[in-house]
Amino acid sequence: MSKPSVTEVRAGGQPEGIKERVNEEHWAGRLYMRDISPYVSTVFIRLGVPPNPITYLMMGFGVLAGVTLAFGGLWSALLAFVLVQIYLLLDCSDGEVARFTGRTSVAGIYLDRIGHYVSEIALLIGLGIRAQGELAPGGWVIAGMAAAIGAALIKVETDNVVVARAKAGLPEKISDAAMQPRSAGLSLARKAAAALRFHRVIQAVELSILVVGVALVDVFRGDLLATRFLVVACVAVAALQSVLHLVSVLASRRLQ
């Protein structure tokens, strides 16, 4: 077992249904990264690397993507995109290693959540600094920080459902029916928002793709207008989604 094959790691690290997890599996994971990650996971397993250090590594690449993005120019946008892809790869790999080796843990889940928090926060702050044009206090830096706070708040709202249920002695698992708002109007609005998927603008993978696009526009125009437009969009999406998500939670039966 010290030198498992990629096929064995894929079978043990990617149990049936893992790609179909609606709220946990990213579309990029389903589309291509879960096909790549077992090769990397196999290397980690053969080297005897535990899952938690892989999670720390994931976190490091996520933060490094944000730091890189803060620098101007097309090269930094492209490098940040590559770093986010590595971040996603490691995010798949740590869980695969944990499942294959039987080393899943509460600490691992906790670290994984923290990794997503700090990575998305770093990326949005980096975008704000990039829009400012220099590493100095300014309105665009504040805007990037505001978007980062909004993105973190959305995750807090999601995670605190589990916390509140645990404190109340309720089971962690929530039925699909309980997820739906009790109001027909709110239910329709929730479905419309889910269909538009505008909340993905502030998520790491999607944001890294958008950044490359606006960086190309900035190079063509010779200014930072496109990047600044993206910052405004991120602030708007973060503010709107944090309110909508809170209303969705309170209007459903998730806390009952």
Would the CA dihedral through 205, 243, 155, 32 be positive or negative? negative
Average pLDDT over residues 161-185: 82
Residues near 245 by Cβ (< 8 Å), separated by ≥ 6? 154, 157, 158
Neighbours of 189 (CB within 10 A): 16
Domain map (residue ranges) of the chain = 6-250
Quick count: other Cβ atoms within 10 Å of Cβ 2? 7
pLDDT digits (tens, 9 = 90+) for 181-218: 776 666 666 666 666 677 889 999 999 999 999 999 99
Q: Are 94 and 29 in contact (CB under 8 A)?
A: no
Confidence of residue 176 (pLDDT cuts 50, 70, 90): confident
Confidence class for position 230, pLDDT limits 50, 70, 90: very high
Query: In this structure, is the dihedral angle defined by the CA atoms of residues 177, 181, 186 and 189, taken in order, positive or negative?
Result: negative
- Mean pLDDT over 213-235 rounds to 97
More confident residue, 256 or 236: 236
> In this structure, which amino acid lies at residue 138?
G
Indicate the angle between helix axes 74-101 and 6-13, nearest 10 degrees.
Answer: 80
Within 8 A by CB and 6+ apart from 242, the residues are 150, 153, 154, 157
> 113: helix, coil or strand?
helix
Residue 228 neighbours by CB distance under 10 Å: 21
pTM exceeds 0.85 for this model: yes
Q: Which two tokens stand for residue 6?
A: 């990629």
- Give the right CATH number for 6-250 from 1.20.120.1760, 3.30.2320.20, 1.10.760.10, 1.10.10.60: 1.20.120.1760
